[in-house]
Structure 1
């Protein structure tokens, strides 16, 4: 298992000497096509192997009914990963999209179409972004129980930037449509 760095320390790039802060990252994983659990586990494996990313927690797996998806979409498996990183938000987004591509994620014109893997950046430290490419914090995380509940399981005192305590947000949206899958346990090694 990778040792978690002290989040109060600034990491120096060994080649350039550039100082980069270590930021806490919240990443949501979801899959509702193909081998759903295998896709989630694979994403965690790739994240764990990513230089400058240190996984510090993986939530339990939840099964959730599709939200805003086309009719007939299958249930999702969802989890949340907490990590520390010195990568910029845009580099982390590039990595997330590369992971999705490695698991044959198709990006079509149908909004919220079923997918083999979804890797969403929910929060990257205190970074804010409102570009077409990257929105931070994630614009719908505060209303998604399949993000809030697994995150709350890992960090009961967590706060979503600009929205407040995750516990309060979860209380507002409830957990209808979520089912804990105790039979599925994601590993970090």
Structure 2
């Protein structure tokens, strides 16, 4: 089994789409490790705020299989493709880490570059796995967050899933 980490984001009917993505991932992969959920302003375009989180789970699937599943989940929830790179979206699932794999695999660059550049990816990953080493820079995610410039604003939100509070605004 391989441990993978995936970022989830939505700025259209956010709570419904994040819930649907968590349900789909749990149904396919079983136990999910779920970070706190953050709200952040849109990056790269004017638009509604996003909800973002990171989910970890174990799988036997290849990188190509995972990305295919993620596209199916996105498409099933109204993701429109072919538009602007930075735009509103119902659901965005991106593979961040596949164990400690580095390089281009099945057309996916790992680890995903957004980890080092976007607060809405780095902070949830640091919350979920503070002691885990980034496979390229060889610093923990907690260390990377501690020196991150924090210009991108984000804040935790309350979020309930399957009858349980999985994220609290007062963290």
TM-score normalised per structure 2:
0.86
| Displacement of 1:61 | 1.1
Gap regions ≥5 residues in structure 1: 1-21
Higher helix share: 2
Matched, 1:169 2:144: yes
Structure 2 regions of 5+ residues with no counterpart? 165-171
Number of positions where the alignment pairs a residue of Structure 1 with one of Structure 2 = 162
* Residue 123 (str. 1) matches residue 102 (str. 2): no
The C-alpha deviation readout for 1:77-103, integer Å capped at 9, x for no partner, is 011101011111110111111111011
Task: Say which one has the larger Rg.
Answer: 1
1:76 maps to 50
Taking the aligned partners of 2:159 and 2:42, their CA distance within structure 1 comes to: 19
Q: Find runs of 4+ consecutive structure 1 residues off by over 6 angstroms.
A: none
2:18 to 40, 58, 78: 40
In the alignment, is the contact (CA less than 8 A) between 2:26 and 2:32 conserved in 1? no
Q: 2:134 aligns with which of 145, 160, 168?
A: 160
Distance 2:107 2:88 in 1: 21
TM-score, normalised to structure 1, is 0.78
Larger mean Cα displacement after TM superposition, 150-159 or 77-86: 150-159
Alignment counterpart, residue 6 of structure 2, candidates 17, 27, 37: 27
* Alignment partners' CA distance in 2, 1:59 and 1:186: 12
Alignment check: 8 A CA contact 2:102 2:136 kept: no
